[in-house]
Amino acid sequence: MVVSAMPMVAEPSVEFDAQMVRKLSQSGPRYTSYPTADRFSEDFGYRDYLQAVAGMRTRGSRNPLSLYVHIPFCENICYYCACNKIITKNRDKAATYLSYLKHEIEMQGRLFDGMNQVEQLHLGGGTPTYISDAQMADLMTHLQRWFRFADDETGEYSIEVDPRTVSAERVVSLRKQGFNRLSLGVQDFDTVVQRAVNRLQPETMTLDIIRAAREAHYRSISIDLIYGLPGQNVISMAQTLNKVIRAEPDRISLYNYAHLPHVFKPQRRIDVQELPSAEARLDMLALAIRRLTDAGYVYIGMDHFALPDDDLAIAQQQGRLHRNFQGYSTHAESDMVACGVSAISSVASTYSQNVKTLEEYYDAIDKNELPIVRGIRLNMDDVLRRLIIQRLMCNFELSIASIETAYPITFGDYFESELENLRRLERDGLVIIDDEWITVTIKGRLLIRNICMVFDRHLQNALLQQTQPQRYSSTI
Residue 1, pLDDT > 80, answer no
Residue 143, pLDDT > 80, answer yes
Q: Judge whether 96 and 88 are in contact, CB under 8 Å.
A: no
Predicted confidence at residue 9, as pLDDT, reads: 42
Q: Running DSSP on this structure, what letter comes out for residue 2?
A: P
Q: Judge whether 289 and 234 are in contact, CB under 8 Å.
A: no
Cis preceding-peptide flag for 35 (omega within 30 of 0) = yes
- Cα–Cα distance for residue pair 102/95, rounded to 1 Å: 11
- State pLDDT tens for residues 86-118: 999 888 999 999 999 999 999 999 999 999 999
Predicted confidence at residue 276, as pLDDT, reads: 95
β partners of residue 372? 354
Task: Give me the domains of the chain, ranges plus CATH numbers.
Answer: 14-35+379-467 (1.10.10.920), 39-339 (3.80.30.20)
Phi/psi of residue 473, each to 5°?
-80, 170
Q: Judge whether 283 and 361 are in contact, CB under 8 Å.
A: no
Residue 27, pLDDT > 90, answer no
Q: Judge whether 75 and 165 are in contact, CB under 8 Å.
A: yes
The count of other CB atoms within 10 Å of the CB of residue 340 is 24
Residue 328, pLDDT > 90, answer no
Percentage of the chain modeled with pLDDT above 90: 78
Residue 258, pLDDT > 90, answer no
- Cα–Cα distance for residue pair 35/419, rounded to 1 Å: 20
Calculate the average pLDDT of the chain: 91
Closest Cα to residue 257, out of 285, 287, 238? 285
**Which burial class, exposed, middle or buried, applies to 427 when counting CB atoms under 10 A from its CB (0-12, 13-18, 19+)?**
exposed
- State pLDDT tens for residues 390-430: 999 999 999 999 999 999 999 999 999 999 999 999 999 99
pTM: predicted TM-score of the whole model, two decimal places:
0.92
Q: How far is CA 382 from CA 34, 65, 306, 388, 411, in A?
A: 7, 22, 30, 10, 15
- State pLDDT tens for residues 34-62: 999 999 999 999 999 999 999 999 988 78
Q: How far is CA 23 from CA 188, 254, 311, in A?
A: 28, 21, 34
Q: How far is CA 218 from CA 102, 184, 292, 395, in A?
A: 26, 13, 22, 26
Average pLDDT of the segment spanning 429-453: 94
Residue 466, pLDDT > 80, answer no
